[in-house]
Amino acid sequence: MTPCRRKGLWAALTASTLLLGLATGCADLGYLVQSASGHVGVLWASRPVDDWLADPATPAALRERLQLSQRLRDFATTELGLPDNASYRRYADLGRSAVVWNVAAAPEFSLTLHTWCFPVAGCVGYRGYYREADAQAHAETLRAQGLETTVYPVPAYSTLGKLNALGGDPLLNTFIRRNEPDLAGLLFHELAHQVVYVPGDTTFNESYATTVERLGVRRWMQHAHGLQAAVAQQALTQQIEQRRQDWHQLLVRHRQRLEALYRQPLRAPAMRAEKTRLIVLLRDEYAQLQQRWGGYTGYDASLNRLNNATLGMQATYTQHVGAFEHLFQQQGQDFTQFHTRVRELAQLPSIERSRVLEQLASLRPALGASVAQP
């Protein structure tokens, strides 16, 4: 990045931050400044992938990952109907394990996430910080208000295509060394946010992007490695999906029990005691799942972090995936038509959009009953 370009970048984002501060109130100006300066830091550290590939000092392992990323990036445009723009054509090593740390929170006796509202993104159930210490400090402030909180690392995020003129979203060290299917899925997921994004409807946005991620990886594996590899990857994916579905169903049962509890006219001590009993029941049911999985421990950490905030986030990311997968089948497994139909859904009022998705979910076959061709 040249000095002139860097000055222009600072000027553009500083002006944008001041305007956003006026729109949202001075109370949020400090947060917006850290958001803008944090993203500037990410872009400042980035260089075109071609420069990294031409540099003899670039390690061989990183070179291979960057070459793969560009093949994935091209495939996303030509085969998945995702945008052809500046995003993921640059790379940055941030020298840390996450690009941001998100904070989510919910009341002690409710599963409704605390929300923050911003221009463009709308109202969302999380708030991101470029320094983990800042995220932890904000979480502590929320805990002091009686909220249950979670702080979790985020390897990548989307600027929704709004900053492509400034270089777009770069590849980062926080995810570039993931295995091939995971790297592909992450890129497809984040690019999907640039296709359709409904301000204030996190569940819709994340479910749609997750669907593009899963379907896109299946198609990539066949394209890059042939049908046999795609079938093998799909079999592995189905095993992963079955465990994910088992875990999700466990959480749904726990959510339903907690929601029923929180509706009861109980005093706080009695409510806490019953909540503790339900957590013990959850752990017993999880132990039974682990036996069925052959001792798989991949969800242990999630179980240990479980609270009202993490339960709220869990529902956000997966609730409509089944509906979107069925919609993809209805469009003849054509990504361009699929994106068009999702854009149409995005234009509907929230209540009507939810009704259509619920109807689509009710029509979807059970997992394993009908497997899309890779």
pLDDT in tens, the chain (374 residues): 444 444 444 444 443 443 333 333 444 777 888 888 888 899 999 999 999 999 999 999 999 999 999 999 999 999 999 999 999 999 999 999 999 999 999 999 999 999 888 766 677 888 999 999 999 999 999 999 999 999 999 999 888 988 888 788 999 999 999 999 999 999 999 999 999 999 888 889 999 999 999 999 989 988 998 877 767 766 777 777 789 889 988 998 999 999 999 999 999 999 999 999 999 999 999 999 999 999 999 999 999 999 999 998 876 667 898 899 999 999 999 999 999 999 999 999 999 999 999 999 888 664 443 333 33
Looking at residue 371, its pLDDT comes to 35
The tally of CA atoms less than 13 A away on the side-chain side of residue 335 is 25
Measured CA to CA in angstroms, residue 279 lies from 107, 146, 207, 251, 299 at distances of: 17, 19, 27, 11, 15
Contact between 194 and 83 (Cβ < 8 Å): yes
Looking at residue 77, its pLDDT comes to 98
Q: How far apart are CA 272 and CA 280, in angstroms?
A: 13
DSSP letter for each residue of 27-90: GGHHHHHHHHHHHHHHHHH-EEHHHHHH-TTS-HHHHHHHHHHHHHHHHHHHTT----SSTTSE
Q: Residue 301 contacts by C-beta under 8 Å, 6 or more apart in sequence?
A: none
Looking at residue 42, its pLDDT comes to 92
| Residue reference for tokens 């070459």 | 67
Looking at residue 365, its pLDDT comes to 61
Contact between 100 and 134 (Cβ < 8 Å): no
| Residue reference for tokens 């904070």 | 103
Measured CA to CA in angstroms, residue 267 lies from 119, 261, 262 at distances of: 39, 11, 10
Q: Which two tokens stand for residue 340?
A: 């068009």
| Residue reference for tokens 């000095």 | 3
Side chain identity at residue 179, one-letter code: N
**Residue 105 in 3-state DSSP?**
strand
Measured CA to CA in angstroms, residue 275 lies from 259, 278, 288 at distances of: 10, 5, 20
Distance of CA 207 to the CA centre of its chain: 9
DSSP 175: T
Q: Residue 10 contacts by C-beta under 8 Å, 6 or more apart in sequence?
A: 40
pTM of the model: 0.81
Looking at residue 28, its pLDDT comes to 72
Q: Which residues of 169-183 are buried (b: 16+ CB within 10 A; e: fewer)?
A: bbbbbbbbeeebbeb
Measured CA to CA in angstroms, residue 83 lies from 73, 92, 148, 168, 176 at distances of: 9, 21, 38, 12, 20
Q: Which two tokens stand for residue 67?
A: 């070459």
**Residue 250 in 3-state DSSP?**
helix
Q: How many helices (H) and strands (E) does the chain have?
A: 13, 8
Looking at residue 315, its pLDDT comes to 65
Backbone dihedral region of 190: left (phi > 0), alpha (psi from -120 to 50 degrees) or beta?
Answer: alpha
Q: How far apart are CA 374 and CA 353, in angstroms?
A: 28
